[in-house]
Amino acid sequence: MARYSNETATASNGPITEDEAEMGLLGTGKGADRPGKASVINKESEELFTPAKIFAIVGSIVSSVCIVMVNKLVLNGGFPFAASLTAVHQAVSFVFSSMLIYFKVIPPIPAPLPEYKYTRLWVSGLTATGIVLMNESLNLNSVAFYQVLKMSCIPAIAFLQYILFKKRVGDRVLYTLAIVLLGVGIASLAPSGSSKTSQSKSKVSVDSSIYQTLIAIFVSVGAVFITSLSQLELNQSPDFKRLNSFQSMNIMSFYSFFLCMFAAVMADVKITISDILKVPISLIGLADITFFEQLGVISDKFGVMYDIIMTKAPLGWILVSSLMAVSVIVFAFSLIKGTSAITFQVVGHLKTVLTLLIGAVLFGSADLMGWKGFGVVIAFVGIILYSKEKM
Q: pLDDT digits over 48-65, tens only?
A: 567 877 888 788 888 888
So what's the pLDDT on residue 347?
A: 64
DSSP characters over 68-114:
HHHHHHHHHTT---HHHHHHHHHHHHHHHHHHHHHTTSSPPPPPPPG
Amino acid at 363: F
132, 125 Cβ separation under 8 angstroms: no
Q: Which domain holds residue 312?
A: 49-194+203-390
Q: Which range, 18-32, 92-106, 170-184, 222-236, is most confident?
A: 92-106
For 252-296, write each residue's pLDDT tens digit. 889 889 988 988 898 889 898 888 888 888 888 887 888 898 899
**Confidence (pLDDT) at 63:** 87
Q: Tell the burial category of 237 from Cβ atoms under 10 Å away from its Cβ (0-12, 13-18, 19+).
A: buried
The confidence band for 99, taking pLDDT boundaries of 50, 70 and 90, is very high
Q: How many domains are there within the chain? A: 1
pLDDT of residue 299: 93
Residue 204 CB-density burial (10 A; 0-12 exposed, 13-18 middle, 19+ buried):
exposed
The number of CA neighbours under 13 Å toward the Cβ of 380 is 22
Q: Does residue 28 lie in a domain region?
A: no
Buried b (16+ CB within 10 A) or exposed e, 48-83: eeeeebeebbebbbbbbbbbbbbbbbbbeebbbbbb
Query: Tell me: the pLDDT tens digits for 13-52?
Result: 333 333 333 333 333 333 444 444 334 334 444 455 678 7
The DSSP secondary-structure symbol of 366 reads: G
pLDDT at residue number 227: 84
Q: What is the mean pLDDT of residues 224-234?
A: 83
Q: How far apart are the first and last CA of the chain?
A: 31
> How high does pLDDT run on average in the chain?
74
* pLDDT of amino acid 252: 85
pLDDT number for residue 119: 86
Q: For the residues 164-185, what does the mean pLDDT come to?
A: 75
What band does 357 get if pLDDT is binned at 50, 70 and 90? Answer: low
19 domain-assigned: no
Q: Is residue 369 part of a domain?
A: yes
Alpha carbons 156 and 221: distance in angstroms, whole number: 10
Predicted confidence at residue 205, as pLDDT, reads 53
Residue 9 located in a structural domain: no
Is 386 domain-assigned? yes
Statement: residue 125 has pLDDT above 80: yes
Q: At what angle do helices 171-189 and 203-235 cross, to 10 degrees?
A: 150
Q: State pLDDT tens for residues 312-328.
A: 889 999 999 999 989 88
- In what helix (H) or strand (E) does residue 373 lie, and over which residues does it extend? helix 370-390
In a domain, 79, yes or no: yes
CA-only gyration radius of the chain, Å:
22
On whether residue 18 sits in a domain, the answer given is no
**What is the C-alpha separation between 353 and 361, in angstroms, rounded?**
13
Model confidence over 72-90: pLDDT tens digits?
A: 889 888 898 988 998 999 8
Q: What does the alpha-carbon distance between residue 133 and residue 322 come to, in Å, rounded to a whole number? A: 17
Within a domain: residue 349? Answer: yes
In the chain, the percentage of residues whose pLDDT exceeds 70 is 69
Dihedral angle sign, alpha carbons of residues 18, 22, 28, 32? negative
